Each structure stands twice: as C-alpha cells, then as structure tokens.
Amino acid sequence: MAYSMTGYGRGEATYATRRYLIEIKSVNNRFCDVQIRIPRGFIALENKIREKVTEKLLRGKVDVFVTIEDVGDGNQTVELNEGLAKAYSEAISRIAEVTGRADQTEAHQIARFSDVLVARTTSLTPEEAAAELFPVLDLAIEDMLRMRTIEGQKLTDDLKEKVNHFEEMHAAVAQRAPLVPKEYRERLMARIEELLTDKANLVYDENRREAEVAIFADKCAIDEELTRLVSHMAQLRETLDAQGSIGKRLDFILQEMNREVNTIGSKANDITITNYVLDMKTELEKIREQIQNLA
C-alpha cells in the first residue's frame, strides 16, 4: 500500500496531573526532514522522537508539536534569582543618584523584570517522561498513517488511470509504427515517378529503391523502445501495489520511460507518432507530479 506524504495526526493522553498533546503534520520532501517543537524540560527526548517518526513515516517534511501541561498545584514553584534582583535594585539606585531623582522603586516592580522570578514545574526523570510521552506519540503517528493511507490509495488509483491512458497511446504507436516504412516507400515511388516520369526505371532501379526503403525502415525502427516501455509499465504497476516507501523507485522507473519516449520521438520520423509522443510526455509529466506526493 502506497502512502501519501501529506497528512495530519493527533495523540492526546493525561497522566496524573500532566496532559500530553502531540500533533504531527507533514508535506512533500525528498527525504525525511523532522522538526520538533517540545518544552525545554523534555528536550532530552528529541532524538528518540525523531528516530521513531523517521522509522514510521519514511519520507516528508514532518513537523512535530509537543504540548505538555501540568495542572497540579504541588508541582508548581516560583524561584527568586537573588543576585539578579539585587543587581537590578543597585542599578535603579544608581540611576536615581546620577539623575538626582528619588528612588521610589518597590519590590513588586523589580519582580517584573526579566528572569527575576522564574516559574518552574517539578521535572520528571527522562525514564518517567519517556514512559508517558511515547505512547502518545504512537497515537499521533497511527492517526497520521491512517490519513496517509487514505490519501495514498486515492493517489494510487489516479496513477493507475493515468498509466491506462499511457498504455492506450503506447498501443496506438505500436499499431502505427509498421505503417511508416510502407508509406515512405509509396511516397518515394510517387516522387520518383513525378520527377523522372517514363525514365524512372532506367535511372532509379527497383533494387536501389528497396535498399533506400530498408535503410529508412532501420533508422525509424522503434520496436526495442516499445518493448522496453511494456516492461517499464509492468514494473510501474507492480510498484504501485507494493508495500512501504515506493516514491523513489517510481521516480526512477518514470525516468526510464521518459527516456524511451524521447528516443521514439527522435527516431519515428512520422508526424502521427510525433503527436502521440507529445501526448505520452504530457501524461508522464502528470504521473511524475503525482509521484512526488508518495512516500
């Protein structure tokens, strides 16, 4: 089953007085780029979170938002930075002295300055934090994978329809290809007759004409390219039904298909096949754009 690279997942749980909320969102990316926003007290778990997300989501630009709220009264403390408070007080007194103003600063005013009072929550050990946080992360990842699976199925169905359309054009080219040398032979004979009239057989004998037709047929032969395209289309369908990360493999197959189509366009020497080639390249580009959405 193919997975889309875009999606959203959410996990939530409460342990004692602590509420955990983890949200994950992802968009397209060639690799797995994980950005984590987590409270400072839990930053030691960041690498393990990244490893788990990378292992499960495979590809995409992934943002992980971790919110932790502790509503318990006993876990909240306010600490005074005595040195900083004293430094602020001395600085204010010095300002009053050099400006000739009275120093009327009260304690609550000094308390408003940055980092004088610091609110802290009683911290968990890394083991305790991991035991509570990672089950919630698993919920968020599972929710994300459900959405990615649904989107991936839609993308896969759409890609298969595009491959069907491409196969129809391939069949049309294969049907047209044998006619190109025959039509060239008819045009060549008509041109010779037009230019040489009744002396055509004397100046331009049949052997020479057939040799030129054979050379032309060899130059415009596209049987090998058409056969390789059949193989590539089979690989494309097989990969679309495979499990895990398939985006990069699909991209490689598509490069090979595009190469064969370009070769057909350069060799065919036929306006009808050239028009089919333009349509095939357009369809391959549509497929390529959709593949960029798959993990």
The 10s digit of each residue's pLDDT in 156-207 is: 999 999 999 999 999 999 999 988 888 767 776 666 566 556 555 555 566 6
Q: Does residue 239 sit in helix, strand or coil?
A: helix
Read off the tokens for 172: 């049309």
Please tell me the distance from the alpha carbon of residue 51 to that of residue 38, in angstroms, as a whole number: 15
Output the pLDDT for position 117.
87
Output the pLDDT for position 102.
86
Output the pLDDT for position 42.
87
Give every residue of the chain whose pLDDT is below 70, as ranges.
1, 71-76, 120-123, 184, 188-211, 213-218
Output the pLDDT for position 197.
60
Read off the tokens for 24: 């994950």
Nearest alpha carbon to residue 204 among 262, 244, 212: 212
Please tell me the distance from the alpha carbon of residue 62 to that of residue 146, in angstroms, as a whole number: 16
Read off the tokens for 194: 């037009």
Output the pLDDT for position 170.
97
Contact assessment for residue 34 and residue 168, using Cβ atoms and an 8 Å cutoff: no
Residue by residue, DSSP assigns 164-227 as HHHHHHHHHHHHHTTHHHHHHHHHHHHHHHHHHGGGHHHHS-HHHHHHHHHHHHHHT--HHHHH
pTM of the predicted model as reported, rounded to 2 decimal places? 0.70
Output the pLDDT for position 193.
62
Read off the tokens for 90: 């001395």
